[in-house]
Amino acid sequence: MAVSITDQTVEYVAALAKLELSEAEKERTKKDLEEILGYMDTMNELDTEDVEPMSHVNPVKNVFREDVVINGPDRENILSNAPEEQDGCAVVPPTFN
Amino acid sequence: MTASEIISLSALELGQAIKEGRTTSPEAVDAYLEKIAAEDGRFHSYITVLADEARARAAEVQAKIEAGELTGPLAGVPVALKDNLCTKGLLTTCASKILYNFRPPYTATAVQKLLDAGAVILGKANMDEFAMGSTTETSYFGPTGNPVDPEHVPGGSSGGSAAAVGAYLAPYALGTDTGGSIRQPASYCGVVGMKPTYGAVSRYGLIAYGSSLDQIGPLAHTVSDCAAVLETIAGHDERDSTSAGDPAIDMHYTDALVRDVKGMKIGIPSSYFGEGLDHEVKEAVLAAAEVLRAEGAEIEEFDLPMVDYAIPAYYVIAMAECSSNLSRFDGVKYGYRTERFEDLQDIYKRSRSEGFGTEVKRRLMIGAFVLSSGYYDAYYNKALKVRACIKKAFDEAFAKYDVILAPAAPTTAPKKGESLSDPLKMYLSDIYTVSVNLAGLPGITVPVGQDAKGLPIGMQILGNTFCDKTIIRAAYTYEQAAKERKGGRA
């Protein structure tokens, strides 16, 4: 099943990935998606009807511990990386007006 | 000891020389820093050289060694760290514009374990941006050159780590391997590189690419160095729930440094030696297999199925995982923020669009696509099923064989600029390495020769889950036997 990649598909995946693309990037993305997804379709040659999907190779399970704070207050240090900081918080533009 | 004598030593030999007082940690660090200053302009193996920090740290470590507080085999020995490993207060860029100014508030567990053992960080090594690439050409800070010929790539994504070791600009390095990113550059640069079993080393503080595939591992000049480094960094960590917690797992890796493969059953997958493999690489790897046969191993060819499906399954899973992992980069909490914005959505979209490079954006979008409604089953879920089939194929192979031999890459290091224009071609070159990550297995690359141009050729030795010691023993045996054949001391 070859996927046909439309302009809408490109805009949709860019929106999902929170990216803004130039016209040239959109063209390139369309070509890349077609070519790379087309190649990924070779997986369809393999019958996996009765196979359980494997998201992790080692058995992983929930790990529980007591709800105790182990990383000390480090606000100043952490915020020193923020592009804009005020009163101990990272600053962003208003989301509601 | 002169600077060139210091540089000629392996990491363990240097640690021994420091311990015996034949040299000191500050002397060793100076020797490397001076060589980096003089020569790394040609290779660009480092993004950040930490000269002042390293000198200050070496003096501290030396005092602790002399006071008898640091007694381990790597105390005082300098190291290069791939720049996706968080180092508290020290620039950690992941070779991306989006982290160009990031100073992590904490240190990765593997790095902390090295520091506790007396390591001195020389600098942060170049890499493909977010480890996405096979040549170290996608780095925002520019490509790294191969130590043998800087016109050629060092491989990737741990290309800076491999080149730093290969060019003797660090005695050893840490790299990370998501689809071959330690083993392939080790092969291209003529050094030893090991990806341990998934879960052997904590990923805490490793900036995530594909969380179910990523592992940290060593690159060095000798198998012994790799085993000693791995022994230092391995073990359970409360802060990584996927790190192995079973006390029955034997992590005394240096115990496996024994020259003995008598009766070891070695499988050679015929499909790995067919079409697409350069004949010089093929001959060098098969000749290395004969060295192991002469040491007493039993070698036979066998049919490993599923090889054709490894790359598509790998890239679907890696891209899906990265599209999720990299959503944290938003221009708000740390890293690059766009200058052109009106609202919060602008900050997200433009910081990411301006901050990520072409290959990263490509993978984020394909990742978003394969996870999207309507395509999830056809791509992501299908890839997880193929992954289960690949794991089963390895389980069956390891029921018959102790280790598997393979090339690390189809060719030796290509010239710079040949891979970037055709991403699919670059993905296809990962054919011999990605299955190991899908199945969570350990693999080690050892140098086995050169092509006609003098570019290094590496051989991979693959093992079963948590049989890392078996591949170390096979690699050590090959290394010692090959050295003896060359007339060196074994």
- Write the DSSP assignment of A6-51 as a string of letters: -HHHHHHHHHHTT----HHHHHHHHHHHHHHHHHHGGGGGS--TTP
Considering the domain boundaries, does residue A12 fall inside one? Answer: yes
* Residues contacting residue B81 through CB under 8 Å, at least 6 positions apart: B87, B111, B121, B123, B124, B125, B161, B173, B174
pLDDT at A70 over 90: no
Query: Do the Cβ atoms of A81 and B238 come within 8 Å?
Result: no
Query: Do the Cβ atoms of B424 and A39 come within 8 Å?
Result: yes
Cα radius of gyration rounded to whole Å, chain B: 21
Per-position b or e across A26-55, b if 16+ CB within 10 A of its CB: eebbeebbeebbeebbebeebebeebeebe
The CA distance from B279 to B182, in Å, is 23
Considering the domain boundaries, does residue B331 fall inside one? Answer: no
Each residue's pLDDT, cut to its tens digit, for chain B (490 residues) gives 999 999 999 999 999 999 999 999 999 999 999 999 999 999 999 999 999 999 999 999 999 999 999 999 999 999 999 999 999 999 999 999 999 999 999 999 999 999 999 999 999 999 999 999 999 999 999 999 999 999 999 999 999 999 999 999 999 999 999 999 999 999 999 999 999 999 999 999 999 999 999 999 999 999 999 999 999 999 999 999 999 988 899 999 999 999 999 999 999 999 999 989 999 999 999 999 999 999 999 999 999 999 999 999 999 999 999 999 999 999 999 999 999 999 999 999 999 999 999 999 999 999 999 999 999 999 999 999 999 999 999 999 999 999 999 999 999 999 999 888 888 989 999 999 999 999 999 999 999 999 999 999 999 999 999 999 999 999 999 999 999 998 865 4
The CATH number covering residue B413 comes to: 3.90.1300.10
Considering the domain boundaries, does residue B138 fall inside one? Answer: yes
pLDDT at A72 over 80: no
Of B242, B342, B387, the CB nearest to A93: B342
pLDDT at A1 over 70: no
The CA distance from B127 to B488, in Å, is 33
The CA distance from B230 to B174, in Å, is 10
Instruction: Give me the residues of B, 275-334, that contact A with CB < 8 A.
Output: 306, 308-309, 311-313, 315-316, 323, 327, 330-334
How far is the alpha carbon of B218 from chain A, nearest alpha carbon, in Å? 22
Catalytic residue status for B157: yes
Structural domain range at position B146: 3-271+278-305+399-485
Q: What is the tally of structural domains in chain A?
A: 1
Considering the domain boundaries, does residue A39 fall inside one? Answer: yes
pLDDT confidence tier of residue A3, bands split at 50, 70 and 90: confident
Nearest residue on chain A to B438, judged by CA atoms?
Answer: A57
Single-letter amino acid code for the residue at B419: S
Query: Do the Cβ atoms of A57 and B198 come within 8 Å?
Result: yes
Considering the domain boundaries, does residue A32 fall inside one? Answer: yes
Q: What is the tally of structural domains in chain B?
A: 1
Considering the domain boundaries, does residue A34 fall inside one? Answer: yes
The CA distance from B409 to B446, in Å, is 12
Considering the domain boundaries, does residue B337 fall inside one? Answer: no
Catalytic residue status for B82: yes
Query: Do the Cβ atoms of B344 and A92 come within 8 Å?
Result: yes
Enumerate the residues of chain A whose CB falls inside 8 A of the CB of residue B102.
81
Catalytic-role residue among B134, B157, B158, B429: B157
Query: Do the Cβ atoms of A37 and B344 come within 8 Å?
Result: no
Considering the domain boundaries, does residue B383 fall inside one? Answer: no
Instruction: Give me the residues of A, 55-84, that contact B with CB < 8 A.
Output: 55-58, 60, 63, 65, 74, 77-78, 80-84
Considering the domain boundaries, does residue A51 fall inside one? Answer: no
Query: Do the Cβ atoms of A83 and B337 come within 8 Å?
Result: yes
pLDDT at B489: 53
Catalytic-role residue among B35, B82, B113, B124: B82
Considering the domain boundaries, does residue B386 fall inside one? Answer: no
The CA distance from B336 to B87, in Å, is 18
pLDDT at A2: 64
**CA of residue B265 relative to chain centroid, distance:** 26
Q: Are B310 and B333 in contact (CB under 8 A)?
A: no
pLDDT at B488: 65
Structural domain range at position A33: 7-45
Catalytic residue status for B187: no
